[in-house]
Amino acid sequence: MINSEEDIRYWLALTALPSIGITILLKTAAKFSVSMFELGTLDKEKLESVGWRAEQIACLREPHPFTQRCISWLAAADNRSIISYQCEEYPERLKQIAQAPLLLFADGDHGLLSKPQLAVVGSRAPTHNGLTNTHTLLTDVLMQSDLVITSGLALGIDARSHIAALDLCQSTHENTRLSRRTIGVLGNGIDVIYPKRHAQLYERIRQNGLLVSEFPPSIMPSPKLFPRRNRIISGLSLGTLVTEARIKSGSLVTAKYAIEQGREVFAMPSNINNKQAEGCHWLIKQGAKLCECAQDIFDELPELILKHAQKQQAGKKPKQNLATTKLLDSVDKASNRGDALRFAEHSQIDDSSPILQAVDFDVTPIDVIAMRTGQSISTLFVELLEYELRGFVASTSEGYLKLRG
């Protein structure tokens, strides 16, 4: 990590060099057998001999206007760090991507950068089903592996991904292995909260995970910066999971970066009428791994990320999709009440059930179900409660949605 004023000034200057990226910096350093940190010590003639222009050389030696701002931000709180490309804390996976960031501003547990990560991205306006399935799947992933969940702190799927990790850590605080399991990658300055409504979530991640950005303090969000954030999200991770996304969306940009970086891409399927899932279905058609359960992710990632117990049992247990997991949870509840036998007798779904046929995979209002079935709402509440306990439907504030069938 770097913390001296001179070091921060120098690395900021490297990031500001006009028309020079990390590829040229690395080639120049290799040419003269020096590190990137030592480029500033080279004679002007040497730099000019490999194509550097006068304004580029001048920029390397000039004061940078953000230097004091970075110093102040660094000193204002514990657990803040500035990590250069040459620091040992810089994640190796990120070094493997094209145009890796020269600097990372980190607020929180920077040790998470070296952990195996799963990027999770999706719609900013997801369906209830998409949010529920994302939360359920990630809880399963976190319980069965050492993966860290990395996302972009945006509305919708991003926020739910962070919350799934934070809620699990809070409910299992006695298990230190489950603590600090999410990274929020920002598309603006490290100290800027965007969107504003995520102020509380921002603070939760800062306290119980890690916030990271390539942009220094006070840089405001801009559409042109988000693709740069997306390449870091995928670049930090072993694979990228898209749970709901339209064809033209930032989530597919992240998936594109993941493919270019040689990382795995997973996509969660949904109802064919769900416009928010068109991008996921398109990705599956292009060869992304269809993801219904945690095991679908584990199958494609290195064994080292799995818990020892999960490794032993991976080949013995059948895959369980999201609906099956809900059903088994209901069985456990029934067993605790002494109702397991009655539950088992009625656990098979009746495909011809008019009530289930009247419930869509998207939220269906109760009055629509009543109109389709011709039954009273009071009767439907009783029947739907039974189906909910059996894991075939889920209730929401707006109605019911089908989980399987």
Distance of alpha carbon 332 from alpha carbon 132, whole angstroms: 20
Distances (CA, A) of 258 to 243, 254, 272: 15, 6, 25
Which pLDDT score, from 0 to 100, does residue 317 have? 47
Is the distance from CB of 157 to CB of 180 less than 8 angstroms? Answer: no
Do residues 214 and 70 touch, judged by C-beta distance below 8 A?
no
Helices (H), 106-194: 128-144, 157-171
pLDDT-derived band at 137 (thresholds 50, 70, 90) equals: very high
Higher pLDDT: 145 or 180? It is 145
Q: What is the per-residue pLDDT for 404?
A: 60
Question: For residue 2, which phi and psi values (nearest 5 degrees)?
Answer: -110, 145
Model confidence band, residue 328 (pLDDT cutoffs 50, 70, 90): very low
Domain residue limits, the chain: 1-64, 110-313, 322-402
Checking if the pLDDT of 336 tops 90, the result is: no
Whether the Cβ atoms of residue 339 and residue 374 lie closer than 8 Å to each other:
no
Cα–Cα distance list, 350 to 374, 399, 405 (Å): 18, 21, 9
CATH assignment, 110-313: 3.40.50.450
Cβ atoms 330, 168 nearer than 8 A? no
Cβ count near 61 (within 10 Å): 11
For residue 61 the two structure tokens come to 């030696």
Q: What does the pLDDT look like over 98-109, one tens digit per residue?
A: 889 999 999 999
Q: pLDDT per residue over 36-83, tens digit each?
A: 888 988 989 999 999 999 989 988 888 888 999 999 999 999 899 999
Give pLDDT tens digits for 240-281: 999 999 988 899 999 999 999 999 999 999 988 888 899 999
pLDDT given for residue 232 in this prediction: 97
How many CB atoms are located within 10 Å of the residue 12 CB? Answer: 20
Note the pLDDT of residue 306: 57
pLDDT value at residue 178: 54
Query: Which positions ≥6 away from 37 have C-beta within 8 Å?
Result: 7, 10, 84, 86
Query: Which whole-number Å values give the CA distances from 99 to 20, 66, 109, 202, 217, in the listed order?
Result: 11, 22, 24, 27, 21
